[in-house]
Amino acid sequence: MSRPRRIAYRRRASPLHAARASIAAAYGAALATAALLAQHPLLLGALLCAVLGAGIAAGVGPELVRAALRAALPIALLSVLVNVLVARGGLTVFARLGDWGVLGQMNLTVEAVVYGLVFALRLLVVTLACLLVVCTADPDELLFACRRISPRSALTAALATRLIPVLGEDARRLAEAQRCRPDGGARGARGMLAVLRATVGGALDRSLDVAAVLELRGYGARGRGAAARRPLSRHDLAFAAAAGGLLAISVLAALGGAAPFRAYPLVSLPLTAAPFALAALLLVLAGVPFADRRGIEP
Amino acid sequence: MSVLRFERVSYRYPDAPGDALREVSLTVAPGEFCVLAGLSGSGKSTLLRAAAGLVPHFHGGSFSGTVTVGGLDTRRHGPAEIGAVAGTLLQDPETQVIMSTVRAELALALENLGSSGAAVARAVEETSLALGIAHLLDRATAELSGGELQRVALAAALVSRPPLVLLDEPTSQLDPVAGDELIWQLRRLNQESDTAVLLIEHRLERCLAAADRVIVIAHGAVACDRDPTGFLEWAAENEPALQTPGARLFEQVGLRPLPTGVKQARATLRRSGMLAPAGSATAGEGVEDAAGAAGHLGSVAGLASAASIASRRPEPAESRRRRGRLGRREQQAPPALELRGVWHELRDGPAILRGVDLRLGAGESVVLMGRNGAGKSTLLRHAAGLLEPTRGTVATGGRVALLLQNPGDYFLRERVDQEAPAAALAQVGLAGLGARHPRDLSGGQRQRLALAIVLGGDRRAAVLALDEPTRGMDRAAKHLLARWLRDRAAEGIAVLVATHDAEFAAEFAARAVLLADGRVIADGPTAEILAGGWYFATETARILDGAGGALRPEQGAELLRAAVGLGFERPARPLLAEEVPT
C-alpha cells in the first residue's frame, strides 16, 4: 500500500542522528534561537543556508524543502502581504490605494515590504529548524529525558503521539471501505464528515486498547529507574559545541549590535564587514559537526 | 506451586446479560505450555484478561473468586503490577506498540518497573537477540510489518523475563511462516527459560505439538483440561469444531492415537504400514514400474505415487481435443475479472505487483495465497478499482464487491437496516436484526453485515473479493463462510479470497493462486497447489505428503480407506489419476 510520507523521525546514517536526542534538539533550538535574535537579513540568509545544509547533511533535505514549500513558505508570504497592508511606519510609498474605510488610507511602502520579507525569512528559518529537530531527534529518547522531570505528562504525550498515527490509519481504512460501497459512499465534505465522525467514534475504543497495553507494560507500577549512563560520543560533543557556539555568537551579536538592521521609517541595511563575518561564522559553526562522519551508521 | 491459579472465578462485564466466566478453577504450573481453546465468544479472551489483571481493574463489571498470578492476587494488584510477573500479548499488533522506535518500546516496560539503566540496556539487547529482532532495534515502529510488530510486541511482553506469558491469538494476523515461527519461538522460550505459556489459538493444528495441556472453555466454564491427545479424544466426542484436521482424518479412518501434529501422524501411519518407512526408496526414484512402486511401498504414498506416475502418461488424443475446445470456449467467454500485466510500483519504493496476469471466469472460486507482503491485498484493491496500476490493465465483467480486512470499517450509521438494503440483509441472514446498532453485532454478524453492504445496491456484483475473511474465526464459522461463498459462486459470482488459511482455502476454492514478491508463482487447481507444499498446504496434505491431491480430512480418509481396502498389498494394476478419490 502506498501511504503519504509524514515528517517524522527516522534513524539515518548521519552525524546529527548519531548524536543523542537532547543534543540534536539543542542544536536545532540553537539555530531557531539564532534566527529569532538575528536582525540583519544577511544573518538570516546565512541561517537559512545553515538549516537547509544541516538538513541535507543529515539526509532529511527533501523533507525540509517539501515542508517549506507546502507550509512554511505560504505562511511566510501571507505574513508579508499582511504586513504590507497593515504597517504604517514606512516613508517610501510605492502604491496609493486610497481610503479603505476602517483601515484608513492604504499606502503601500517599500519599508513594509522589506520588513515583511525579513519577518518571513525569520519565520521560515525557525520553522525549518523545528522540523530539523522533528526529523533528527529521537522522540522516545526525548520523552524518556522528560520523564525525569514530569513522568505522567511525558507518558500522556507518548500515548497521544501513538494514538495520532493509529487514528490516521483508521481514517484511511474507513475512507477506503466507503469507496467499496456500491454507491461509492458519501463524497465530498459529507463523506469526509462521516469518516471523521466514525474515526472519532472509534477513537475511544482505540485509546482504551492503547491504555490497556500501557497498563500491561507497567505504567503506574513503581516509578522510574535511573537513565542508562551513556558516554558522550564525538558527535554529541561536536553538536553540543556547535549549539553553544551558535547561541553565544547570536547573543553577543545582538547585545553588541554587530549586525544592525532597521526597516522603519527608512530601510537601513549596513553592509559592513561585521555582518559578513558573522554570517560566515554562523555557517561554519553550523556545518563543522557534519564533517566528521565516523561511527554514524544506525 | 503454580504460576497462575483461578479459584471459582466468575465474571460479568458491565451491563452484560450473562456471565462471561462461570466458576472457573484451574492452575498453570511453572514451565507449562497451555493452549486455551474454545469457540468464538466462549470466554477465552476474558479468562486471559482476568489472568492479566485487566478484568476487573480495567473493564469493571462484577467479579468473584480469586486469581493469583505469580503469587499476586489480582484483586489487590492491578495490571501494572501483574505485568511484572506476566507478560501479555493481545490480538491487534497496531495497538500493542506504544513508542516510536523498537528499542524504546522494549525499554518501556523495564523503565516502568524501575529497573536501572544498565539492566534495561542488557535486557533489551538479550531479548532482541532471543527473539531475532536485533536488526529492528533502531527501526521506527511505524515502518514495521504486521509480523514484525507482533514480534516486537512479544519481545516487549517478555523483556522483564516474566515467569508467565499470556497470548491472545498472536498469530491471527500472520502468514503461515511467521505464525509457525512465533509458535516455535514460544516453545523455545518455554523450554530454555522455563517460562509458562498460556496461549489462545484458533488454529490448533499449529500449536498442539508444542503444548503440554489444552484447556477448553465453553460458555465461560472449563469444559476440558487434558493433555493434547486427551483433548483430541474429548473434542472428537464433544466438540468436533475444535478437532484438528489431522485428528479428524484419523478419527474417520479409526486410527489411534489421534495425532497432535504431522510428525506424530506420519509416525502412526508408518507403524501401521500405510506410509513408507523413512529413508526407503520412493516411487519414481529409480522405480520404473508404477505398480511395482505401489506394491513395494504398500502405502498411501504408493497409491499416490502410482496415481502421479499414471497421471504423467500421455493424454489420449480425443481427451486432449475435447479439453482444448472447452478451454478455448472458456477463454472466449467474457471474464468476470482480468488483470493483464499489472504492475504496482511505489514512488521511491519497491514494486508491490510485478506483471500479474490473472483471469477469473464467472462462478469461479479462487483463493489467493502468499506470505505477508506478497501483494495479495494490493491485487484485490486493483481488482476493485481502489488503486490504478502503474502499468497493465484491469478489466471487469461488472461490479467488484470488495470486503476489506476489518468489517467494522464499513459501518457509519446507527442501525443495521440503514447500512444495507433489506434484500441484501436477508441474503446474509441478518433480516431480523435491522434495528440493532452495527457495533453491537458479534464478529461473524459484523462480517455478514459488511458483506451485505458491499453486495447491496442496484447492480449485481460480478466479482466478490474478500481480504483475510477468516481472521479470528473458529472452525465452525469458517465452515459456514465457505459454504456461503460456494453458494455465491454457484450463482455465477466469481469469488476471489486472499487468505493465509490453507484449510479454509481447501474447503471453498476450486483454484489457487500463489503470489510471491508481487508475482504469480503458481496457479492451478487447489488440489494441486495446496497438496505439494510445506507452508501453503493443508495438514491433511502434509500428513499424506500430498498423496492423491487430498486436502481435506474427508478426502484423506477416503484415500487411507482405499489403502486399507487394498490390504497394503500390491495392487493388481496401477491406479489411474481419476481412480484416486479427491
- Complex ipTM: 0.72
The whole-number pLDDT of residue B332 equals 61
Q: Given an 8 Å threshold on Cβ–Cβ distance, is B104 in contact with A138?
A: yes
A165 touches chain B (CB under 8 A): yes
> What's the confidence (pLDDT) of residue A163?
74
- Return the percentage of chain B with pLDDT > 70, whole number: 87
pLDDT tens for A201-255 read: 777 777 788 888 888 888 766 555 555 567 899 999 999 999 999 999 999 999 9
B220 and chain A: CB distance < 8 Å anywhere?
Answer: no
| Percent share of chain A, pLDDT over 70 | 91
Q: Is B461 helix (H, G, I), strand (E, B) or coil?
A: strand
CA–CA separation, B306 and B492 (whole Å): 36
Cβ of A173 and B404 within 8 Å? yes
Nearest in space to A181 (alpha carbons), one of B461, B339, B433: B461
> What's the pLDDT band for B63 if we cut at 50, 70, 90?
very high
Looking at every residue in chain B, the average pLDDT score rounds to 84
pLDDT in tens, B447-462: 889 999 998 877 889 9
A184: left (phi over 0), alpha (psi -120 to 50) or beta: left
Indicate yes or no: CB of A216 within 8 angstroms of CB of B78.
no
C-alpha cell at B519: 508475482
User: Is B88–A216 a contact, with Cβ atoms under 8 angstroms apart?
Assistant: yes
Cβ(A50)–Cβ(A287) under 8 Å?
A: yes
Task: Please state whether the peptide bond connecting residue A231 to the residue before it is cis, i.e. omega within 30 degrees of 0.
Answer: no
The helix/strand count (H/E) of chain B reads as: 22, 19
Q: Is the pLDDT of residue B203 over 50?
A: yes
What is the reported pLDDT for A266?
A: 92
Torsional sign, CA B64, B69, B72, B78: negative
A7: closest CA of chain B, how far (Å): 12
DSSP letters of chain A?
A: ---PPPS-----SSHHHHS-HHHHHHHHHHHHHHHHH--SHHHHHHHHHHHHHHHHHTT-HHHHHHHIIIIIHHHHHHHHHHHHHH------EEEEEEE-GGG-EEEEEHHHHHHHHHHHHHHHHHHHHHHHHHHHS-HHHHHHHHHTT-HHHHHHHHHHHHHHHHHHHHHHHHHHHHHTSTT----HHHHHHHHHHHHHHHHHHHHHHHHHHHHHTTTTSS---PPPP-PPPHHHHHHHHHHHHHHHHHHHHHHHTSS--B-SSS-B----HHHHHHHHHHHHHHHGGGT--TT---
Cβ–Cβ contact B46 with A under 8 A: no
Would you state the cell numbers that stand for residue B344, as one nine-digit string? 504496482
A268 has which bridge partners? A262
Check residues A232 and B327 and name the one with the higher pLDDT. A232
Q: Grid coordinates in use for B210? A: 508444542
Which of A206, A216, A223 has the CB atom closest to B114's CB atom? A223
- The share of chain B scoring above pLDDT 90, in percent, equals 47
Minimum distance, in Å, between the CA of residue A194 and any CA atom of chain B: 7
Average of pLDDT values for A24-40? 95
The whole-number average pLDDT for the span A160-184 is 81
For chain B, list the domains and their CATH numbers: 4-95+163-238 (3.40.50.300), 270-312+555-579 (no CATH), 336-398+459-548 (3.40.50.300)
Beta bridge partners of B359: B338
pLDDT tens-digit map of B385-439: 999 999 999 999 999 999 998 888 888 888 899 888 888 898 888 888 888 888 7
Position B226 pLDDT exceeds 70: yes
Which residue do the cell numbers 492423491 mark?
A: B548
Contact list, A210 vs chain B (CB under 8 Å): 95, 98
Inter-chain residue contact B406 with A228, CB threshold 8 Å: no
Judge if the upstream peptide bond of residue B257 is cis by omega within 30 degrees of 0: yes
For residue A184, give the amino acid letter.
G
For chain A, the domains span 15-142+235-290, 151-216
What mean pLDDT comes out for the span A116-124? Answer: 93
pLDDT of B101 over the 60 cut: yes
Phi, psi of A173 (to 5 degrees): -65, -40
Residues from chain B that touch A157, judged by Cβ atoms under 8 A, are none
CA of B441 to nearest chain A CA: how many angstroms apart? 15
Provide the pairing of β-strand B86-89 with B164-168: parallel
Q: Is B338 helix (H, G, I), strand (E, B) or coil?
A: strand
Give every CB contact of residue A156 below 8 A, 6+ residues apart in sequence: none
Average pLDDT over residues B226-254: 94
